[in-house]
Amino acid sequence: MSRDWYPKTARKNLHTKIAYTDRRIYVRFRWAQPDPGGWIHDMLVYRDGRWQQFADPSPWVTSDDRDDHTGFYEDRVSFLLDDGSVTGFEEFGGWLTAHSGIRSLPSAVSATDVDGHGHFGSDGLGKSDVRKFIPQACAGEWWENDWKTVRPQGELDQLKADGVFLDLPMWRAHRSDPLGYGTDHHVLDYRHGDQGRNTYTSQSWDPKAGPEYMWDPAVVADGALDYGSIRAGDIPEQGVDTYALELDDAVPFDPAVAEWEGAMIPRRPLQQPRGSAADWRATGTWADGEWTVEMWRELTTDHPADTKQLEPGGVYTWTPAVHHGAGTRWHWVGYPYKLGLGVEPDYVGDRHTAGTTELVATHVEDRPDWREIDGYTIPLVFPGILVWDDLVASSHPKSDEIRNAEVTMWELYENDPESILRRR
């Protein structure tokens, strides 16, 4: 992410309603998103005699007016969820997971350095970057967060068994919505996918040989979408037209059919999920410049090892985020909230804001009629490149209070959210 690249607005309102039955929890989100096309994602495009990857950002996101671009990235809504097991999350929310060295920041660790690390590299997780993690995954005091000092795998396993991780479900406009699911993740030493199989995979491709798959021409004419038409504004209709490549509709790539100027094929084919990765169902609709997304899952699942289990009367810490047309840190995030299933939570954060910090999910007998459910307007803020290192640094005027979890993000920044952008 460019240090000087900011969205048009620093804040975005997320209208939220939450309900639960004796078996399930339901969450409904609604937010303004006037740019169409947020359901197009990560495309392989044949142009100038070779195949190229068009990833983020989307053309409707960039601040300039270039006629050309090389990006498509889906819209998303997600939230972090905890049951009180992770020290500091109640006070600092998602800022607890953002650290120097993670991908997309100016300080991002190089793939070479990651590969040489015993835990993250080829001898361990086999990763090429560092992503979200909680400081408890690292050696030292609870707030210390040097990714190089990640704890041994045995200690991480024990933390996970003790519930010291954050749940991270999300709805993705391209990579999950067409199948009617969300995707499910958890954060400890890394942003891991939950066990099982996710809604999407990656197909291999080569600039000369092309992709592994294309659409069956009986599903999409000529086996591919037309980049030129989409770039000109003829965007497939969300939820109606075909724009995601489901493996059931895919056939082996045939250059005689789908290798033509502007041919466009998704790099991320979709597949039916299973296991813990399939715990969340979800559906979204874009209409009149606005997304409406509903997510739901069982309160208790068959996968407690990587999913926070819920119960009526329980109180949890919850913080949402919205992505638009780009990934990683280019998003809007919420401060931490207390969420009670049928009970009024008690949260110190309410001392520092005129708005609510305490949410109550409404009990219903069956699937909710959202017209009868009270809602909340959650303000989200663009976090810029502010990370946990900045907050716990000895130079921060409240570093001692932060290290002792005696202050919250509400107190630090709610009265002046623009200050997050200024601390760069």
User: One digit per residue, pLDDT tens: the chain, 424 residues?
Assistant: 444 456 667 789 999 999 999 999 999 999 999 889 999 999 999 999 999 999 877 776 655 555 567 889 999 999 999 999 999 999 999 999 999 999 988 899 999 999 999 999 999 999 999 999 999 999 999 999 999 999 999 999 999 999 999 999 999 999 999 999 999 999 999 999 999 999 999 999 999 999 999 999 999 999 999 999 998 899 999 999 999 999 999 999 999 999 999 999 999 999 999 999 999 999 999 999 999 999 999 999 999 999 999 999 999 999 999 998 777 777 899 999 999 999 999 887 776 666 789 999 999 999 999 999 999 999 999 888 899 999 999 999 999 999 999 999 988 875 554 444 444 3
> Within this chain, do residues 355 and 416 fall inside the same structural domain, yes or no?
yes
Specify if 2 maps to a domain.
no
> Within this chain, do residues 94 and 63 fall inside the same structural domain, yes or no?
no
> How confident is the model at residue 352, as a pLDDT?
61
Angle formed at CA 324 by CA 180 and CA 192, multiple of 5 degrees:
60
| 282 contacts 183 by C-beta, under 8 angstroms | no
Nearest to 421 by CA among 394, 373, 385, 375: 385
> Within this chain, do residues 126 and 192 fall inside the same structural domain, yes or no?
yes
How distant is the alpha carbon of residue 290 from its chain centre? Answer: 18
Q: Note down the domain range covering 224.
A: 40-73+202-269
> Within this chain, do residues 408 and 360 fall inside the same structural domain, yes or no?
yes
Q: Using DSSP, state whether 155 is helix, strand or coil.
A: helix
> Within this chain, do residues 279 and 262 fall inside the same structural domain, yes or no?
no
Q: Which of 225, 241, 269 is the last residue of a domain?
A: 269
Give me the residue label for tokens 């640094």: 393
| 28 contacts 367 by C-beta, under 8 angstroms | no
Q: In the structure encoding, which two tokens stand for residue 90, read together?
A: 């109640």
Phi, psi torsion values for 51, nearest 5 degrees: -90, 135
Specify if 118 maps to a domain.
yes
End-to-end CA distance of the chain: 13
> Within this chain, do residues 279 and 392 fall inside the same structural domain, yes or no?
yes
CA distance 202 to 239: 22
Angle formed at CA 107 by CA 105 and CA 113, multiple of 5 degrees:
115
Q: Which helix (DSSP H) or strand (DSSP E) does residue 27 occupy? A: strand 24-32
| 396 contacts 54 by C-beta, under 8 angstroms | no
Task: Compute and round to an integer the Cα radius of gyration of the chain.
Answer: 22
* 135 CB-side CA count, 13 A: 24
CA distance 48 to 25: 50
| 414 contacts 350 by C-beta, under 8 angstroms | no
Q: Tell me which DSSP letter residue 302 carries.
A: S
Specify if 3 maps to a domain.
no
- Pairing verdict, β 358-363 and 11-20: parallel
**What contacts 78, CB < 8 A, 6 or more positions away?**
168, 169, 170, 171, 320, 321, 323
Specify if 1 maps to a domain.
no
Q: Tell me which DSSP letter residue 227 carries.
A: H
> Within this chain, do residues 244 and 296 fall inside the same structural domain, yes or no?
no
> How confident is the model at residue 383, as a pLDDT?
87
> Within this chain, do residues 225 and 151 fall inside the same structural domain, yes or no?
no
Can you list the positions of beta strands (E) in 299-363? Answer: 315-323, 331-333, 337-341, 358-363
CA distance 45 to 50: 8
Angle formed at CA 322 by CA 318 and CA 326, multiple of 5 degrees:
140
Tell me how crowded residue 407 is: count the other CB atoms within 10 A of its CB: 18
Distances (CA, A) of 197 to 102, 183, 358, 408: 25, 10, 34, 36
Q: Which of 269, 288, 315 is the last residue of a domain?
A: 269
| 229 contacts 221 by C-beta, under 8 angstroms | no
Q: Tell me which DSSP letter residue 20 carries.
A: E
> How confident is the model at residue 424, as a pLDDT?
31
| 85 contacts 242 by C-beta, under 8 angstroms | no
Longest dimension (CA), the chain: 66
Q: Which helix (DSSP H) or strand (DSSP E) does residue 161 occupy? A: helix 153-161
| 215 contacts 223 by C-beta, under 8 angstroms | yes
> Within this chain, do residues 87 and 194 fall inside the same structural domain, yes or no?
yes
Strand-pair partners of 185: 168, 193
> Within this chain, do residues 193 and 332 fall inside the same structural domain, yes or no?
yes
Can you list the positions of beta strands (E) in 257-334? Answer: 263-266, 281-287, 290-298, 315-323, 331-333
pTM for this structure? 0.94
| 23 contacts 299 by C-beta, under 8 angstroms | yes
> Within this chain, do residues 187 and 111 fall inside the same structural domain, yes or no?
yes
Q: Which of 219, 248, 269 is the last residue of a domain?
A: 269
Where does residue 196 fall: left (phi above 0), alpha (psi -120 to 50 degrees), or beta otherwise? Answer: left
> Within this chain, do residues 94 and 69 fall inside the same structural domain, yes or no?
no
Total domains present in the chain: 2
> How confident is the model at residue 70, as a pLDDT?
81
Q: In the structure encoding, which two tokens stand for residue 145, read together?
A: 């967060």
